[in-house]
Amino acid sequence: MDTHDVSHVPEYLRYLQVQKQNLTNAKAVKGHPAIPKKSKDEILMQFMSRRMQLMRMETPANPVNLQASFLPHAYPPCVRPFSALKKVMIDSLCLETHHRGRYLLLRTVTPTDTLTSVMAIVEDEVGSVLMLLLYNQEQELSGAQSLREGTVLVVKEPYVKVMADGDYGIRVDHLSDVWFIPEFDDLVPLSWRERVTQADENASTWKAKGNEHFDRGDHRSAIQCYSKTLEAHPSPELLVIAQLNRALSCLKSDRFDAALRDVESVLQVSELSAKALFRKAQALYQLQRFKESCETHAILAEKFPGNTMAAHENARASARLVEQDSGKYDFRKMILEANTLQPPRLDHATYIGPVTVKQTRSHGRGLFTAEAVKAGDLLFCEKAFAHAFHKGNASGLRLLLNVDMDKATIGTQAELIELIVQKLYKNPSLLPGFVDHHGKYKSVDVLEVDSIAVVDTFLVGRIVLLNSFGCPLVSRESHIRSMKGDDTAKKANEQFHSCGFWSMASYINHSCLSNARRSFIGDMMIVRASRDLPPETEITFWYKSPMNGDPTELPVDLQHWGFKCDCTLCQDIRSLKPSVLLDRSRISADLQRLFKRPKINSRKIEDTISSLAGTYCRPASEVPRLALYSSYLSLAAFYASSGNLREAVKFGLMSLESLGFVIEGGNIPHVSDAPLVVQTWGLMNDGVVGCWMILCFAYRELASPLASQAGGYAKLSYRICVGEDGTFDQTYDRLSNRVDGLLTTAK
């Protein structure tokens, strides 16, 4: 949905084909011993010199220098407990093979290098080496503290592959398939230990070590040491301290489920521990369980009224709860926040309005209205489950190649997959809700092994491919760009590079005759009804707008999602004779040429529009006439600016009618007292706002009571397109020097 799918662009298709060919070639060596062709020294030298080169390399400024992320054929994560795995050595590994039932014990012998994966050369206990490629790991992993030389790790059921350069590597896609082993763990051979753990290391020493790691910001190691504290028979006081400290390290490293577990066990023995209550409230807040967070704060406030930090957090949680329950947001403030924060992840709650997920007759589940709603009503305002932000220059973009799905996308989808995998891995309570989304394939049905969450990266990848949304930083800005006729706007609208995953929005199916619109403020998605909807109506929006491209090239291509739209618009187009479509296309091209002439010949344009209208047979209220809409609108603007206001009204109304609007009381001459009423709402695109403003401009002279009503519809349409109307007056003005009222200075 507004993501940049380049699967059919020849330049990128070639990449996809090369990857497929590589996979086919690799099959030929499947099962051959993975004995590197280079010596150990050569492997180390090559890695280090490439690392140096990369460190010197500038960030690519050219879009052709996109980094390619390549998903191999899907394979499931290891679901066997560690105790059921047998150790294997590097020399016994085979190419293109998943070594099921086996594990490797390795240690890194180089620093890391990070491209699309975290890479290092690893050795086993007999000194054989191979490249290790860890995918979907946190960026911090490549930092000095996390994967420094000498880090010991276990790779469960290793997969050895032939890499693009012909060398061999151990590729790990699933987070639970690699364990980072602390130096004190019994698994670490004595010869690999920097020092031997003293027999007298007791709970206090472990706690002190945990604190050292915590102070350095190494939360993973801190958690390991606090866990050791708990195993070393601590005193009751120390036990509580270690659990509280571990909870804090978990909070700092986004492991909210685990933080909650620790504080809950502290609260079992010490019901009124201020720290436990505070950390519990924080963990619940981060898991968006605002009601429970507020309840916990209420206890804190009662027992510890002087705790100012808790009071501050309490106010924050209460504000979220109000948003969650009422759908009332300060959208203007949110726009400011989105423009200030990088990445623009806003601290706001999700509001779910009168909608419910239900089975549709023919396209899986869908979202339905639970009660009647009016055009412009807020259906929901959802915080992204995950959001991958792109600043706007070319660097940081990735080409994601998925051979199983035959897809190539450009943008931040690869990063989005990483973010989601990490979030689920750290917070398995979120897993069932996420994997419920469309895109399932037969994956493992194990949620946890050895107390570690099992997250199938390929499943996440599929769900992301079919359910993620490209998004602008703020929809108001893209609205302004498109109203200004900024040529980049069209491209920007179609190729948003930031993207995110919104759970509720993912249940909405596509229809070209959509009845809702989405808009964005940072990582918040706002979905409003774009028509009046009775209860039990299926809510739909555009995955791809039928109005962004050439209207004669309908139906829109929805191959990316694997279906063809069957709305009346698409059905009608499919039923037309090819000659009619050819005529439509030819006349549309003529019209475009006529509008580009230095002097507008309105008579000729009107005649040509009439011929174009002749290619439609059903009324626009049933089948919108998309090819006509923008020509009518341009004519309305032309007549308004040349002072022919009656014609401006006529063509403004025709423009709206071509989108399916049924409007009463708008014609000139105006019958006194008859109000201007939208009986039926049509398709809602950004130009509708401008069209109402042109009508408002013309009515001021011709029928002043209608001007404010048209202005009201402009503001309502703006709210539907942009998500809010608090910025309407900053964007449009009836006294603007443009007939559509857009303030030329609007930014």
Return residues touching ligand SAM (CB under 6 A).
363-366, 437-438, 466-467, 506-507, 509-511, 561-563, 565
Minimum distance from residue 438 beta carbon to ligand SAM (Å): 3
The C-alpha atoms of residue 61 and residue 114 are separated, in whole angstroms, by 18
CB of 437 to ligand SAM, least distance (A): 6
d(CA 118, CA 136): 9
Q: What angle do CA 647, 649, 651 make, to 5 degrees?
A: 70
Distances (CA, A) of 436 to 15, 90, 525, 541, 667: 32, 38, 20, 21, 50
Task: Tell the smallest beta-carbon distance from residue 352 to ligand SAM (Å).
Answer: 16
Q: Which amino acid is at 275?
A: K
Give the shortest CB-169-to-ligand SAM separation in angstroms: 33
**Measured between alpha carbons, how far is 251 from 265 in angstroms, rounded to an integer?**
16
Structure-token match 């220098």, residue found: 65
Nearer to ligand SAM by Cβ, of 335 and 367: the residue is 367
Of 122, 121, 114, the residue nearest 139 (C-alpha): 114
* Strand 168-172 relative to strand 129-134, pairing: parallel
Helix (H, G, I), strand (E, B) or coil at 311: helix
| Minimal CB distance residue for ligand SAM | 364
Tell me how far, at minimum, the Cβ of 512 lies from ligand SAM, in Å.
Answer: 9
Output 85 or 533, the one with its CB closest to ligand SAM: 533
CA–CA distance, 431 with 575 (Å, rounded to integer): 44
Closer to ligand SAM at the Cβ: 520 or 728?
520
Give, as one character, the DSSP assignment of residue 724: -
**In this structure, what DSSP letter does residue 84 have?**
G
Instruction: Return the number of the residue (131 or 388) whose C-beta is nearest ligand SAM.
Output: 388
What is d(CA 522, CA 394) in angstroms, rounded to the nearest whole number?
A: 20
174 backbone φψ class: left, alpha, beta (φ>0; ψ -120 to 50)? beta
Minimum CB distance to ligand SAM smaller for 167 or for 538: 538
Rounded to the nearest whole angstrom, what is the least distance from the CB of residue 488 to ligand SAM in the complex? 28
Q: How far is the CB of 436 from ligand SAM (least distance, A)?
A: 8
Rounded CA-CA distance 465/703 in Å is 51
Nearer to ligand SAM, 365 or 490 (CB): 365
Residue 510 CB, nearest distance to ligand SAM (Å)?
4
Beta-carbon-side half-sphere exposure of residue 613 (alpha carbons within 13 Å): 17
Shortest distance, position 511 Cβ to ligand SAM, whole Å:
6
Confirm if 540 and 514 have CB atoms less than 8 A apart: yes
Rounded alpha-carbon distances, angstroms, from residue 532 to 371, 559, 666, 678, 682 = 11, 30, 20, 10, 10
Kindly state the tokens that stand for 578.
């090819």
Residue 4's nearest CA partner among 391, 514, 495, 632 is: 495
Give least dist CB 19 to ligand SAM, A: 23
Is it true that the peptide bond before 182 is cis, omega within 30 degrees of 0? no
Q: Smallest distance from the beta carbon of 410 to ligand SAM, in angstroms?
A: 20
**Which H or E run contains 131?**
strand 129-134
Tell me the residue ranges of DSSP E strands in 524-661.
524-529, 538-541
Q: How far is the CB of 115 from ligand SAM (least distance, A)?
A: 31
Nearest by Cα to 109 from 144, 148, 149, 146: 149
**Token pair of 419, please?**
């973010």
Q: How far is CA 378 from the centre of its chain?
A: 21
Cα within 13 Å of Cα(360), Cβ side = 16
